[in-house]
Amino acid sequence: MDFHLTREQDMLRETVRAFAEEVLKPRAAGLDRSREFPVDNYRRCAELGLCGMMVPETYGGAGFDGVSYVIAIEEVSRACASTGVILSVNNSLFCAPILRFGNETQKRKYLVPHARGERIGAYCLTEPQCGSDAAALSTLARRTGDRYLLKGNKVFVTNGVAADTFVVYATLDPGLRHKGICAFIVERGFPGLSLGKPEHKLGITCSGSVEIVLDGCEVPAENLLGTEGEGFKIAMATLDGGRIGIAAQAIGIARAALEESLAYSQGRQAFGQRIADFQAIQWKLADMATEIEAARLLAYRAAWTRDHRERCSLETSMAKLFASEACMRAAREGVQIHGGYGYINEFTVERLFRDAKITEIYEGTSEIQRLVIAKEILRED
């Protein structure tokens, strides 16, 4: 089996790596402290075609394949994990469902400017009392004439503070569970939509997470994505792609932790020698490197599968589960290798440790990934 990247993928990797090193990395620590949404980072990424990577060129995208997307998100996240998830949301959670389920008018109106990076997209599924159980939505959608009225609250909305447009999930009747859920394309300026409290988070601090309040938000009927009752299907299909993006983000964070640890361990002296010469440290580094490589291959397989097969839940959940947990282990060991300095925010591994944790939670917790994997491997042929 040939694991070599194509010439185009190699060129993309080198281009994004250089951009991330020169532009994103020097800003990352300051943005982490200020918690300011990195609009300039997003615009610079748009110039490279990173905002709608898998969207065809006819709709404003770059027309890349899934493996190329993983490569780019890894490189961006290695330098700035917040920028990595901002791109992942716009690509996977906003552009992808409109490309797959939207009609031609919706694609022209919404997909094109977001794929070009002229606008920022967000995804509104989670609610204060509804996270992993996505069928238990309480945000209501009521049809009245030529529009829907949405009422409810969404939380943890990445990109929310800066987003121009949201894919919002609401139910016609909570008693219908998944059968009553609908997806809507909602503009920031629609009457009845407002921003609630910002989320002050442990890590990924500048990704603009905020509560979205829908108080009778008026949405034109033509902004229904798909058909009534199809929203749960759209949400689950979208999350399959989103999990690939988070796997790539996790790989980038883990790789940064390894690189910081390699540099530190070769410069730090203890007991008359470099700490890199101690077997205890070498084993940590070896485990980190091995798990990063394994995670990357799982992410590549998941991306390839999504490009070539409609059903890819098993592959995407495996990639997200392994990559996120490998990321957390790498970040933890990075702090341990740095000793007391790993606990100081002047050192990069402290931020990486905080950024790593969320990869085990959003886009489906590790526990949910294990449920999905178990369901798939127990499925009768």
pLDDT of residue 310: 79
Helix ranges, 226-268 (H): 231-267
Residue with tokens 């606008």: 119
| Enclosing H/E stretch for 106 | helix 104-106
In the structure encoding, which two tokens stand for residue 306, read together? Answer: 């999504």
- Write out the CATH class of domain 7-119: mainly alpha
- Whole-model pTM: value is 0.97
Which of 102, 97, 78 has the alpha carbon at shortest distance from 23? 78
Quick one: tokens of 36?
């300011």
Collapsing DSSP states into helix, strand and coil, what is residue 310?
coil
The residue among 334, 191, 153, 310 whose CA lies nearest residue 261 is 334
In the predicted model, residues of the chain with pLDDT beneath 70 are 1-2, 380-381
Domain 122-229 sits in CATH 3.40.50.150 = no
**Which pLDDT score, from 0 to 100, does residue 381 have?**
54
**β-bridge partners, 219:** 148
Q: How many CB atoms lie within 10 A of CB 216?
A: 12
The full set of domain ranges for the chain reads 7-119, 122-229, 232-378
Annotated catalytic residue 291: no
- Rounded to whole angstroms, the Cα distance separating 78 from 190 reads 36
- Give the three-state DSSP class for 127: strand
Predicted pLDDT at 4: 86
Whether residue 373 contacts residue 302, with contact meaning beta carbons closer than 8 Å, is answered with: no
How far apart (Å, rounded) are the C-alpha atoms in residues 306 and 54? 11
Non-local (6+) Cβ contacts of 47 within 8 A are 117
Question: CB neighbours (10 Å) of residue 22?
Answer: 10
Would you state the pLDDT for residue 380?
A: 59
Within the chain, strands assigned E span 121-124, 140-144, 147-157, 165-171, 181-187, 193-198, 210-220, 224-225, 269-270, 273-274
Q: Tokens 């309480």 correspond to what residue?
A: 138
Name which of 313, 326, 319, 314 is nearest 300 in CA terms. 319
- In CATH terms, the fold of domain 232-378 is Butyryl-CoA Dehydrogenase, subunit A; domain 3 (1.20.140)
Measure the CA angle with vertex 193, ends 191 and 197; round to 5°: 150
Amino acid (one-letter) located at 324: S
* Model pLDDT, residue 54: 98
SS3 217: strand
Residue 150, beta-bridge partner list: 141, 217
> Among 74, 127, 350, 363, which one carries the catalytic annotation?
363
Q: 254 Cβ partners below 8 Å, 6+ apart?
A: 288, 291, 292, 295, 323, 326, 327, 330, 331, 356
> What's residue 2's pLDDT?
62
Number of H helices, E strands in the chain: 13, 10
